[in-house]
Chains A and B, each alone.
Chain A
């Protein structure tokens, strides 16, 4: 099994991209995050669906006590999410710049899974000689296993 067999080619996010555009790219490819690149095309951060939602509408007191929540609170306490205002915001303030873990086409699958586990992430970026190729996700690895073993 090679990572190149499971990599999902995607577009990249650049400064000024709207959250709505980033969401669309994530949804189109079924990935949880995308690389954030500067004008030279160098990866300087990552856009993460989880981090964006967390920053915009999931304060710690809410997520920590999620198991206690009833069904009447969410829509009223986060109107900017419900009315779609967040889609018009630029992604820049929500970019994660720390721990941009990457793998290469020669990395074993177990390494990719290990890094995802370490950083509590469902995806990792694949770079070939510093050039962005795409995203490797757990889902894609599982899909490959099924195909490889004709299960």
Chain B
């Protein structure tokens, strides 16, 4: 028997909360790998929920957001085909030569490239590819790569916040809120563009003593970067098809995941990839982590706890006068929490609460945008706020260049002002143009 949502806290809710908190403690404390913790948590949630009568195996399967999982899977496979072509390295070298010795221009060019790519591809993958070539460029022209690595990670996080597919939380928000790609970019694009511009200016100011004029040429041959010109053209064609389909998926009535799989099919037909090269590059650990989280939060939702949380918030959120304040509170809470902990569990947990508010008659549309802005910008605050930050730090430590290693304090010295500054800019836009977010 499945429990009806209750207005009071019940034992089922407390059991579900305990399982979720235990799983999140394991995830955030890194006692276990986060995927292992999510799998264990999901199995315990199903077992305990079934025994208590508020959850079942069927409900757990229904709780998995198929669009998010499949979209990520398809995009990972497309990137797996695109990555070995050397296109990213080509772009980085061409941009570094175009900067003509002006390291400030170099920072802007590389950050812009990373941001644009992160709008459509996974930003972690983008930074994984760009960070080593950035270090090499810095090594050759004899400047400190630290500002470049930090800028790339932060601006890839910001770039990813602008589109439905740029960041996993956005995919989840889009699926839950029924927001299509075009609507997402129309609402988030201008805000993120302004935030991006202001953030670049701030980073240039903060690193003004690390960005000298350089005389050494970038002694790298971009022509040798492309390993397979024909393969690159085929992969880019498939990616272009995916991006076009993203813009019209709502008109065609298809999910973004299906659009991504159409492009993947084109790659598969044109490239005939080796199964190992294709499937070996998919980050199954991330996908399993997401599945585990969906099942855990599904259990908490079915226990009625998230409905109960919604009831506590509904009076505030229902007041149209207070909706702007609620949105700003969601944005800042999401950002501050995302700076401290992984933003995925937070997003997965908050989505059913927001959906619950909708069922209670609240206009939740502005809350989706606030949530997307918050989780997108909050990750820049600390070194652990986003996976891309950790990639940049690892590369800075590995390169062995004197003064390049980014310590947690060094990150926060730049990251916290950047996060607050970008949040203030976003809040001003959100407040002044609130009617466009309704």
A16 interfacial by beta-carbon distance below 8 Å: no
Smallest CB–CB gap between B32 and chain A, Å? 25
**For residue A129, which residues in chain B have a CB less than 8 angstroms away from its CB?**
none
**For residue B220, which residues in chain A have a CB less than 8 angstroms away from its CB?**
65, 68-70
**For residue A68, which residues in chain B have a CB less than 8 angstroms away from its CB?**
89, 93, 136, 220-222, 224-225
When C-beta atoms are compared, the residue in chain A nearest to B131 turns out to be A61
Please determine whether B221 and A62 come into contact, CB atoms closer than 8 angstroms: no
Please determine whether A60 and B221 come into contact, CB atoms closer than 8 angstroms: no
**For residue B142, which residues in chain A have a CB less than 8 angstroms away from its CB?**
76-77
Please determine whether B132 and A70 come into contact, CB atoms closer than 8 angstroms: no
Q: How far is the CA of A70 from the CA of B395 in the complex (A)?
A: 22
Also in contact, A73 and B89, with CB within 8 A (given A65-B133, A67-B224, A68-B225): no
B398 interfacial by beta-carbon distance below 8 Å: yes
**For residue A71, which residues in chain B have a CB less than 8 angstroms away from its CB?**
219
Interface string of B378-402 (1 = CB under 8 A from A): 0000000000000000010011100
**For residue B117, which residues in chain A have a CB less than 8 angstroms away from its CB?**
none
Please determine whether B219 and A65 come into contact, CB atoms closer than 8 angstroms: no
Also in contact, A61 and B93, with CB within 8 A (given A68-B224, A73-B219, A77-B140): no
A64 interfacial by beta-carbon distance below 8 Å: yes
- Choose one: B89, B217, B400; the contact of A65 (CB below 8 Å): B89
Interface string of B134-149 (1 = CB under 8 A from A): 0110011010000000
Also in contact, A70 and B219, with CB within 8 A (given A61-B132, A61-B135, A61-B136): yes
Q: How far is the CA of A76 from the CA of B221 in the complex (A)?
A: 18
Also in contact, A61 and B133, with CB within 8 A (given A68-B225, A77-B139): yes
Smallest CB–CB gap between A4 and chain B, Å? 39
Q: How far is the CA of A72 from the CA of B220 in the complex (A)?
A: 10
**For residue A67, which residues in chain B have a CB less than 8 angstroms away from its CB?**
224-225
Also in contact, A62 and B139, with CB within 8 A (given A68-B224, A69-B220, A71-B219): yes
**For residue A70, which residues in chain B have a CB less than 8 angstroms away from its CB?**
219-221
**For residue A93, which residues in chain B have a CB less than 8 angstroms away from its CB?**
none
When C-beta atoms are compared, the residue in chain B nearest to A55 turns out to be B400
Also in contact, A72 and B219, with CB within 8 A (given A59-B399, A60-B398, A61-B399): yes
Interface string of B219-247 (1 = CB under 8 A from A): 11110110000000000000000000000
Please determine whether A73 and B132 come into contact, CB atoms closer than 8 angstroms: no
Also in contact, A61 and B219, with CB within 8 A (given A67-B224, A68-B224, A68-B225): no
Q: How far is the CA of A59 from the CA of B397 in the complex (A)?
A: 11
Q: How far is the CA of A65 from the CA of B139 in the complex (A)?
A: 12
Smallest CB–CB gap between B307 and chain A, Å? 50
Q: How far is the CA of A62 from the CA of B139 in the complex (A)?
A: 9
Q: How far is the CA of A67 from the CA of B221 in the complex (A)?
A: 8
When C-beta atoms are compared, the residue in chain A nearest to B221 turns out to be A68
Please determine whether B136 and A62 come into contact, CB atoms closer than 8 angstroms: yes
Q: How far is the CA of A61 from the CA of B149 in the complex (A)?
A: 13
Interface residues of A in 67-98 (CB under 8 A from B): 67-73, 76-77
User: Which B residues are within 8 Å of any A CB, using their own CB?
Assistant: 89, 93, 132-133, 135-136, 139-140, 142, 217, 219-222, 224-225, 395, 398-400
Known: A59-B139, A59-B398, A61-B133. 18 other contacts (CB 8 A): A59-B135, A59-B400, A60-B132, A61-B135, A61-B398, A62-B136, A65-B132, A65-B220, A68-B89, A68-B220, A68-B225, A69-B219, A70-B221, A72-B219, A73-B140, A76-B142, A77-B140, A77-B142
Name 29 interchain pairs, CB-CB below 8 A, sorted by A: A60-B132, A61-B132, A61-B135, A61-B136, A61-B139, A61-B399, A62-B139, A64-B132, A65-B89, A65-B132, A65-B133, A65-B136, A65-B220, A67-B225, A68-B89, A68-B136, A68-B220, A68-B221, A68-B222, A68-B225, A69-B221, A70-B220, A70-B221, A71-B219, A72-B217, A73-B139, A73-B140, A76-B142, A77-B139
